[in-house]
Structure 1
Amino acid sequence: MNPIEIMVSYWPRMLDGTLMTLKLTILGALIAGAISPWLALVRSHGSLIAQTPIRIYVSFVRGTPILAQLFLVFYGSGQFRPELMELGLWNFFRDPFNCAILVFVLNSTAYQTEIMRGGIQGVNLGEIEAAKAIGMTRMTILRRVIFPHAYRIAWPALSNEIILLMKASALASVVTVFDIMGRTRQIFSKTFDFSIYLWAALIYLAITSLFVFGWHRIERRLNRHILPRNNANAVS
């Protein structure tokens, strides 16, 4: 079969793998995105005692391969089956998808925490002091001053982290979660045609291109009040 015939014959499997890749990436990034700002806040302004466990966690995750983390969670959890059954967690850990999501969340949370820490530390202290001066509560300052500015600063780096997470999802197939690469290997084992890997690469490229386009649109919207000033400076 030629490359076109290969894709026509096996497109349902490739579509299934694409949906699994998107599911892993979106769920992992969203859950990590909900946790990381608060950890970043502790890393930026918390006491040393509060910061220490987060530092250890971030250092461990960033210093070890995500493949090793997948093996530790999926295969390692079986070593503690009696304890997990006693806690009612074995049904969660016996599912490869749950283990993959857990690893991607833990991994992305570590990276997003450091990215958001940089964003929080980049917020102008004068704006925070001004917010305090007009009587804003701590939560209001976080919601209306610190987090909005921190996300504007961190936005480009966050896009890179999500793209890397999507590419890392290709490793999920080692724990029998069949994403794009998992389906690609299955098809190759039947056809022995390397063109299926080209199709997989094109699918990844298409997803990444659409994501970058959408992310940049959101970034322009977040910075719409800044762009006219920059344009005016460029003209002058």
Structure 2
Amino acid sequence: MFEDLIYVLTKYDTWLWQGFLLTLQLLAVSVVFGTLIAIPLAVARVSKLVWVQALPFAFIYVFRGTPLIAQLFMMYYGCGQLIANIEGIQDHWSWTYLRDPYWYCLLTFVLNTAAYMAEIMRGGIQNVPNGEIEAARACGMRPATIYRRIIFPRMWQIIWPAYTNDVIFTLKATSLASTVTMMELTGAARKIVARTALPYEAFISAGVIYLIIVYVLTFGFKGIEKYLRRNENRKENKSVLAKAGGHI
């Protein structure tokens, strides 16, 4: 088995490397754009106006309440088929992109990630100490300024561990792209199995690469978490010193 594992790693290293790069690409784009979409969704979810909450609530409910693989199939086979049936679309320049499963996977992962992150951010916003918000209002800050200078920084400190977990979840979710012919890491492993009939060796190789990615992500996010914690402690110390100075 060890010899077969070495054979897979040396003979099909190019496939595994390309799958690794595609996995990282899917992860990075999903997290970045998912986060950007999640922020306004989270702000809308904490609004006191029911009609403002309604659409984000429906979006989050659908994407959190249905299996990711069902969303991916609906996007690729459902929307893809509807687009393919549009008259003349296959002669249009956009068909080069519309027939590529990459974009359907990316859109599905971005929207799914946005839904989960929006709910995490909503919880973070609601857990920001009310006293800090009231103090900002008393200083005459506008709502947008309060969000930028008070709520969002505190929110990130609160949600960072959960945010880290969601990023790792998204990494593992990218493996579903292989079900629609994408050659990311799991897809590359399946292709190796089809070529060599060595399932254990192929998936052990892919699994080790996933573990390495998770380790690097965890290490990096832990470093950011420590920075956020130190920054929070620094602000608290300044606040205590300011209060002490006011009593003198």
TM-score using structure 2 length: 0.87
The structural deviation recorded for 1:227 is 5.4
The structural deviation recorded for 1:89 is 6.8
Q: Which residue of 2 aligns with 1:93?
A: 98
Which deviates the most, 189-198 or 210-219? 189-198
Amino acid at match of 2:152: F
Q: Measured at CA, do residues 63 and 47 of structure 1 come closer, stay the same or move farther in structure 2, by a change above 3 Å?
A: same
Q: Which residue of 1 aligns with 2:120?
A: 115
Q: Measured at CA, do residues 5 and 88 of structure 1 come closer, stay the same or move farther in structure 2, by a change above 3 Å?
A: closer
The 3-state SS of whatever aligns with 1:177 is coil
Q: Measured at CA, do residues 6 and 88 of structure 1 come closer, stay the same or move farther in structure 2, by a change above 3 Å?
A: closer
Q: Which residue of 2 aligns with 1:69?
A: 71
Q: Which residue of 1 aligns with 2:36?
A: 34
Q: Report % sequence identity.
A: 39
Amino acid at match of 2:49: S
The 3-state SS of whatever aligns with 2:128 is coil
Q: Contact 1:84–1:90 at 8 Å: present in 2 too?
A: no
The structural deviation recorded for 1:90 is 5.4
Q: Which residue of 2 aligns with 1:4?
A: 6
> 1:45 and 2:51 equivalent?
no
Task: Summarize deviations over 1:123-143 as a string: whole Å, max 9, x none.
Answer: 011111111111222221111
Amino acid at match of 2:6: I
Report the Cα distance in structure 2 between the residues aligned to 1:133 and 1:206, rounded to whole angstroms. 49
Report the Cα distance in structure 1 between the residues aligned to 2:45 and 2:65, rounded to whole angstroms. 18
The 3-state SS of whatever aligns with 1:110 is helix
TM-score using structure 1 length: 0.91
Report the Cα distance in structure 2 between the residues aligned to 1:42 and 1:100, rounded to whole angstroms. 26
1:207 to 189, 207, 213: 213
> 1:171 and 2:176 equivalent?
yes
Q: Measured at CA, do residues 147 and 84 of structure 1 come closer, stay the same or move farther in structure 2, by a change above 3 Å?
A: farther
Amino acid at match of 1:76: G
Report the Cα distance in structure 1 between the residues aligned to 2:194 and 2:39, rounded to whole angstroms. 43
Query: How many corresponding residue pairs?
Result: 230
Q: Contact 1:43–1:117 at 8 Å: present in 2 too?
A: yes
Unpaired stretches in structure 1, ≥5 consecutive residues: 230-236
The structural deviation recorded for 1:196 is 1.5
RMSD, matched Cα: 2.2
Unpaired stretches in structure 2, ≥5 consecutive residues: 237-248
Report the Cα distance in structure 1 between the residues aligned to 2:220 and 2:77, rounded to whole angstroms. 37
Amino acid at match of 1:210: V
Segments of 4+ moved more than 3 angstroms: 87-93, 225-229
Q: Which residue of 2 aligns with 1:219?
A: 225
The 3-state SS of whatever aligns with 1:2 is helix
Report the Cα distance in structure 2 between the residues aligned to 1:83 and 1:74, rounded to whole angstroms. 19
The structural deviation recorded for 1:80 is 2.1
Report the Cα distance in structure 1 between the residues aligned to 2:43 and 2:64, rounded to whole angstroms. 19
